[in-house]
Amino acid sequence: MINDIKEIIFSEEQIKRRVKELAEQINLDYAGKSPLLIGILKGCFIFFADLVRSIDLKCEIRFILASSYGFSSISTGNVKVGTELDFEIAGRDVILIEDILDSGITLSALRKLLLRNEPESLRICVLLDKPDRRQIPVDADYLGFVCPDEFMVGYGLDYAEGYRNLPYIASLKPEVYS
């Protein structure tokens, strides 16, 4: 697995510090409220778990399964949402939590789905952003890091379902995915 890594982009320490800062900002912004935190599986699972443990608010936790990649490194542009919403979001302060914002296709599709259900508010929190790759305009309200336009793995992010367990975020050697 390590032989497939090109470069460590964000270290465990850097990620830990930044995730804590994001949680602190959410704690301030939602003071006195009970937000509904929705994680987009599967890529968010480690980020989500670390983030919520620094969130000091009464909150509800839910997940949505979405994927647009299948077993390739290029978005198909066709987002598969694995579940219909099986929980109530009307009137709730929703924070959508995602690993990475790339073309914007996944988050714009989910945002549309959620807004149809009339939440009180909706914000987006992502760990990584590749702004140069955007096809649909979507901005994160909470952003961990802007990352280079390379394929990132680790800390929950996968390539073909591998590498999610790396404790840092790294770029892959192009020969691994080309």
| Residues within the interface to ligand IMP (CB under 6 A) | 43, 68-69, 75, 98-107, 151-152, 157
Q: Which is nearer to ligand IMP, 19 or 140 (CB)?
A: 140
Q: Which residues pair with 5 in a beta bridge?
A: 172
Q: How far is the CB of 12 from ligand IMP (least distance, A)?
A: 18
- Which of Mg ion, ligand IMP, none does 171 bind, CB closer than 5 to 8 A by kind? none
- Which of Mg ion, ligand IMP, none does 155 bind, CB closer than 5 to 8 A by kind? none
Round to whole Å and give the CA distance between 125 and 22: 9
Q: Is 62 exposed, middle or buried (0-12, 13-18, 19+ CB in 10 A)?
A: middle
- Which of Mg ion, ligand IMP, none does 50 bind, CB closer than 5 to 8 A by kind? none
- Please confirm, yes or no, whether 102 is among the known catalytic residues: yes
Residue with tokens 């073309």: 103
Q: How far is the CB of 109 from ligand IMP (least distance, A)?
A: 8
Tell me which residues touch Mg ion (CB under 5 A): 43
Closest by CA to 15, choosing from 46, 38, 41, is 46
Q: How far is the CB of 118 from Mg ion (least distance, A)?
A: 25
Q: How far is the CB of 69 from Mg ion (least distance, A)?
A: 8
Q: Which is nearer to ligand IMP, 30 or 39 (CB)?
A: 39
Q: Which is nearer to Mg ion, 30 or 170 (CB)?
A: 170
Round to whole Å and give the CA distance between 99 and 110: 14
Catalytic residues: 102
